[in-house]
Copies of this chain bind each other. A is one copy, B any other.
Amino acid sequence: MDTGDRLLTPGEVAALFRVDPKTVTRWAAAGRIGSIRTPGGHRRFRESEVRALLEGEGVLDDLDDGGANGRPRNTGPSQGGNHGPTNAGLH
């Protein structure tokens, strides 16, 4: 029943987008991407939302592969985890 939205850390999202974790934080601060804060203040991002952002625009980018990252790549169809208006105002 769960859409299977795992939560990703800023570092994970940054690796997916090939940007700095700081940039991901800026996106969250600007409201361009939904973010969940832990009681400690750290941010967590929804896997489904990040996925939609990555595959939605069509600007496919090679995924990270430089470090020792044990993240299985889901080459298959999306898990259909779109669950909400992830779109914020674009400019």
Interface residues of A (CB under 8 A from B): 6-9, 17-19, 23, 26-27, 31-41, 44, 53-54, 56-57, 59-60, 84-88, 90
Contacts of A23 in B (CB 8 A): 38, 40
Inter-chain contact B36/A56, CB cutoff 8 Å:
yes
Contacts of A39 in B (CB 8 A): 27, 32-33, 53, 86, 88
> How many copies of this chain does one complex carry?
2
Contact of A57 among B8, B17, B27, B35 (CB under 8 A): B35
- Interchain CA distance A44-B16 in the complex, whole Å: 11
The smallest beta-carbon distance between A4 and chain B, in angstroms, is: 13
- Interchain CA distance A39-B26 in the complex, whole Å: 10
